[in-house]
Structure 1
Amino acid sequence: MILAVLFANSEGNILVERFNGVPAEERLHWRSFLVKLGAENLRGAKNEELLVACHKSVYIVYTVLGDVSIYVVGKDEYDELALSEVIFVITSAVKDACGKPPTERLFLDKYGKICLCLDEIVWKGCLENTDKERIKRLIRLKPPVDF
């Protein structure tokens, strides 16, 4: 199961978070742990360079993309190899939504589109879609139809 997907800015503020199967009382621990992990290890990392960690029998794959840090946490069948595919699809979707590696401002400008992409990629803790073209088709917003 994919337990969490988090996006944070360079100061460690959470921009987007999605938790699956994580009790509310544990979420604060995960937020602070991931931000601290990124602050220690992502400094000087290249765009899309994957880093891996293990904590409390779960796997964490994280990277930096522009000014945004991305963290994916999984357990059981979502080991570091499966999570690297998940984070690859997420970074690809974010780059497509923003047109380039995002600054924090650009990321927030495209917030709605990024959230739609994220919902199509990870659904209820499972990797749902990996095809970029399919994700683009699924997130198209259609105007309401008259009845």
Structure 2
Amino acid sequence: MLLAVLIANSEGNILVERFNGVPGEERLHWRSFLVKLGADNLKGVKNEELCVACHKSVYIVYTVLGHVSIYLVGKDEYDELALSEAIFVVTSAIKDVCGKPPTERLFLDKYGRICLCLDEIVWKGLLENTDKDRIKRLIRLKPPTEF
């Protein structure tokens, strides 16, 4: 299961979070843990260079894209290999929506469309869509013309 998708700015403030199957009382722990992990390890990392960690029998893959940090947490079948595929889809969707690696301002300007993309990529803890063109069609909010 994909437990969490979290996006933070360079100061560590959470911009977007999606938790699946994580109790409310544990979410604060995960937020602070992931932001601290990024603060410790993402300095000097190039755009889309993946970092991997393991904590409490879950896998964490995280990266920097422009001025935002993206974290994915998974367990069971969502190991570091599956998470690396998922984070690639997330980063490419964000770049498509923003037109380039985003600054915090650009990210917040495109916040609604980015959330729509995340909802199409991850559904109830499962990786749903990985095809970039399909995600673009689904976030148009128009009825489908082809099946």
Question: TM class, shorter-chain normalised?
Answer: over 0.9
Q: Aligned partners of 1:141 and 1:100: how far apart in 2?
A: 23
Counterpart of 2:97? 97
Q: Aligned partners of 2:109 and 2:43: how far apart in 1?
A: 25
Tell me the TM-score normalized by structure 1. Answer: 0.96
Counterpart of 1:18? 18
Q: How many residues align?
A: 143
Q: Aligned partners of 2:142 and 2:94: how far apart in 1?
A: 21
Shift of 1:67: 0.1
Query: SS at the partner of 2:70?
Result: strand
Counterpart of 2:76? 76
Q: Aligned partners of 1:17 and 1:39: how far apart in 2?
A: 17
Counterpart of 2:64? 64
Shift of 1:141: 2.6
Shift of 1:54: 0.1
Q: Aligned partners of 1:47 and 1:98: how far apart in 2?
A: 15
Q: Deviations over 1:93-143 (max 9, x none)?
A: 000000000000000000000000000000000000000000000000349
- Please provide the CA RMSD for this pair: 0.9
Q: Which amino acid aligns with 1:62?
A: Y
Q: Deviations over 1:37-58 (max 9, x none)?
A: 0000000000000000000000
Q: Which amino acid aligns with 1:82?
A: A
Q: Which amino acid aligns with 2:102?
A: P
Q: Aligned partners of 1:34 and 1:142: how far apart in 2?
A: 36
What pairs up with 1:1-147 in 2 under 5 angstroms? Answer: 1-142=1-142
Q: What runs of 5+ residues in structure 1 fail to find an aligned partner?
A: none
Q: Aligned partners of 2:84 and 2:70: how far apart in 1?
A: 11
Q: Aligned partners of 2:127 and 2:9: how far apart in 1?
A: 24
Q: What runs of 5+ residues in structure 2 fail to find an aligned partner?
A: none
Q: Aligned partners of 1:125 and 1:102: how far apart in 2?
A: 25
Shift of 1:5: 0.1
